[in-house]
Structure 1
Amino acid sequence: MTTTQTNPSQAPAPTNPVLRVPPASPAAAAAYFAASLAFHADVSDVAAALAADGDPGFVLVDSRSTAAWDQAHVPGAVHLPTALIPEQAPDLLDRSVPVVTYCWGPGCNGGTRAALALAELGYQVKEMLGGIEYWIREGFEVETWQGRERRAGADPLTAPTDSDDCGC
């Protein structure tokens, strides 16, 4: 049996886990990120659009259950649980107006399923990243069967504490 000794100076460099798969080309990255922005809206942008005077240009749809809706929802949202979209969307939504969906939060894909169901029916749709969880964590007002309220202060790890604008 022959053994081969490796010269330590010729040993392969340790693999960087971040660069194990090389980054995409700038053109591919630009296409991907442009597409991502076409499919997603963040909580702060949705809140700013809803707070501005006039029509925000979209309808916000909460795709959660009635119990979840009653617990808290974004003021002005339309309640349309995902399972009811095929049956009720034509009566509640205008196909010429873009729709933004949301569900519980980043660990839930209910907003994605609702967006898919609406897209399959011919609606232009985006999903609100972070769902109601990040809406609340960023300090925005919610509505319940008891009225409107603002829950405990904004989470300083998700929203700026000294500005209305995160600067991104």
Structure 2
Amino acid sequence: MPSLVRDIPAAPSAIALMHFSNRLTFETDCSDVYTSQQQGEVDFILVDVRGPLAFERGHVPGAINIPGRLLTAEGLASYTTNNLFVVYCAGPHCNGANKAAVKLAALGYPVKEMIGGVTGWLDEGFALSTEELKSPVAAIGCEC
């Protein structure tokens, strides 16, 4: 009798290669974001899509705050479609980053999700920032 792991056979290697390679086009992780920041190789816009109060309590250093509901063509007019957005939310229990990624992709922007969100960041042992950063849509004033 096979184990529960082998109860459903693994995909053939070629299919597994395609699947896992494709996932990396949609996702990045906290460690890659942190390392990129430490090496000064920040060629992406890190966006915390939670509400302003959650952002103020603690966010990933270098992130800007654009709550998901404010991701609109008007709010993003200062960005070009060459800008890569990396979005995150509270953590794996929240789909705010997925919703934000859908909005950004629908507007023509390249986007990746930072898997794990704030929870993943803390699990990696990285510190959150409470430094207030100016959001490009701060004038809209989200109080969610």
Question: Structure 2 length as normaliser, TM-score?
Answer: 0.84
* Correspondence 1:67 to 2:53: yes
Aligned residue number for residue 47 of structure 1: 34
Matched, 1:110 2:123: no
Provide the residue aligned with 2:25 in structure 1: 38
Residue 79 (1) aligns with residue 68 (2): no
Q: How does 1:1-168 map to 2 (within 5 A)?
A: 14-53=1-40, 55-86=41-72, 87-91=74-78, 93-144=79-130
The whole-number CA distance in structure 1 between the counterparts of 2:39 and 2:102 is: 28
Higher relative contact order (CA 8 A, sep 6+): 2
Deviations 1:99-154 (A, max 9, x none): 1100001111111111111011101111001101121222223221589xxxxxxx
Structure 2, unpaired ranges of 5+: 134-144
Change (3 A) 1:146 1:49: closer
Structure 1 counterpart of 2:32, one-letter code: D
Q: How far apart are residue 56 of structure 1 and its match?
A: 1.2
Q: Percent identity?
A: 39
Does the aligned pair in 2 maintain the 1:80–1:89 contact within 8 Å? no
Gaps of 5+ in 1: 1-13, 148-168
**By how many angstroms is 1:42 displaced?**
0.7
User: Can you list the C-alpha shifts for 1:49-73, whole angstroms capped at 9, x where unaligned?
Assistant: 11213x5111101000111111101
Count the aligned residue pairs. Answer: 132
How far apart are 1:20 and its partner, in Å? 2.1
Deviation at residue 16 of structure 1 after TM alignment = 2.9
CA–CA separation in structure 1 for the residues paired with 2:132 and 2:43: 28
* Pair member with larger Rg: 1
Q: Check whether the contact 1:101–1:126 (CA below 8 A) recurs between aligned residues.
A: yes
Q: Summarize the Cα distance change of 1:145–1:97 in structure 2 as closer, same or farther, 3 Å threshold.
A: closer
RMSD: 1.8
